[in-house]
């Protein structure tokens, strides 16, 4: 069992398919979780689905800025030990010739700039934690250019992987670990429009022969968020059923 009891995480993208699995794993382990969200109905569904555990879950927005967000979380729970920028679902697939510069710029801003800003704002709290953790989220497409995960997403997530290495070296002296989960093939039947991401449509490219589950994503997050993961930093955990190996 990992040591999660009494720790606090701030997570963006926490009400999505995989995000909800991470919230459940952390709360069941005794962690407090602050969901950074702009989808109150979806967040409420996640919170209502949780059982009675010692860990608590709340939903907040960052409308007043990241500093105010972290102040509110620290006031509620006392500490902030883990930050998990998980925003950014795959966008609709586009042919190379149809990708506008603005499409790429927006994806880079969403995945890299916003993730960095969240981590940066959390640092005053993470440095006070006895086991500070940063968990970034990339994709298997960032490792090998998987066509089904779309070019803009793969490029932006590749930047997240590079940021993992740089932040890990920068923050190691403060005792803060920085790792990244490169996920792929997660979920099924999520596509709402033609060309949207749907892992079930390329099962033949997943060596395990099935899609990943929210519980499996949650288990990976719980380990990296735990006190026991203190000697793991600068690592990319490939949670993709073998789509990327290396």
CB 163 within 8 A of CB 115: yes
pLDDT band at 105, cuts 50/70/90? very high
**What pLDDT sits at residue 178?**
98
Residue 42 CA to residue 2 CA, distance in Å, equals 28
Are the CB atoms for 89 and 149 separated by under 8 Å? no
Between residues 192 and 211, the one the model is more confident about:
211
Residue 84 contacts by C-beta under 8 Å, 6 or more apart in sequence? 9, 10, 11, 12, 14, 22, 134, 135, 136, 137, 221, 225
Q: Per residue in 24-67, pLDDT tens?
A: 999 999 999 999 988 888 889 999 999 889 899 999 998 899 99
Where does the pLDDT of residue 180 fall: very low under 50, low under 70, confident under 90, or very high at 90 and above? very high
pLDDT at 190 over 80: no
Q: What is the mean pLDDT of residues 102-130?
A: 95
pTM of the predicted model, to two decimals? 0.92
Predicted local distance difference test score (pLDDT) of residue 194? 46
| Per-domain residue ranges of the chain | 8-239
User: Comparing C-alpha atoms, which of 177, 181, 215 is closest to residue 81?
Assistant: 177
Instruction: Please say if the pLDDT value at position 144 is more than 60.
Output: yes
Asked if residue 193 has pLDDT above 60, the reply is: no
Q: Is the pLDDT of residue 197 over 70?
A: no
Compute the half-sphere exposure of residue 8: CA atoms within 13 Å on the CB side of its CA: 20
Kindly indicate the confidence band of residue 78, based on its pLDDT and cuts at 50, 70 and 90: very high
| Domain 8-239 fold | Rossmann fold (3.40.50)
């Amino acid at each position: 069992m990992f040591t999660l009891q009494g720790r606090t995480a701030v997570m963006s993208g926490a009400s999505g398919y995989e995000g909800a699995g991470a919230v459940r794993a952390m709360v069941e382990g005794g962690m407090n979780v602050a969901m950074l969200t702009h989808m109150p109905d979806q967040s409420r569904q996640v919170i209502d689905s949780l059982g009675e555990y010692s860990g608590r879950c709340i939903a907040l927005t960052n409308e007043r800025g990241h500093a105010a967000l972290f102040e509110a979380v620290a006031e509620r729970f006392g500490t902030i030990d883990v930050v998990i920028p998980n925003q950014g679902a795959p966008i609709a697939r586009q042919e190379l010739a149809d990708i506008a510069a603005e499409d790429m710029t927006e994806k880079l801003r969403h995945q890299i700039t916003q993730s960095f800003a969240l981590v940066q704002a959390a640092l005053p709290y993470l440095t006070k934690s006895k086991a500070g953790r940063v968990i970034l989220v990339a994709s298997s497409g960032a490792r090998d250019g998987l066509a089904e995960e779309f070019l803009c997403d793969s490029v932006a997530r590749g930047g997240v992987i590079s940021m993992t290495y740089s932040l890990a070296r920068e923050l190691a002296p403060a005792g803060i670990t920085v790792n990244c989960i490169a996920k792929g093939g997660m979920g099924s039947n999520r596509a709402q429009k033609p060309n949207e991401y749907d892992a079930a449509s390329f099962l033949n490219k997943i060596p395990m022969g099935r899609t990943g589950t929210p519980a499996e994503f949650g288990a990976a997050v719980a380990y990296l968020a735990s006190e026991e993961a203190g000697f793991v930093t600068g690592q990319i955990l490939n949670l993709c059923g073998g789509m990327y190996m290396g």
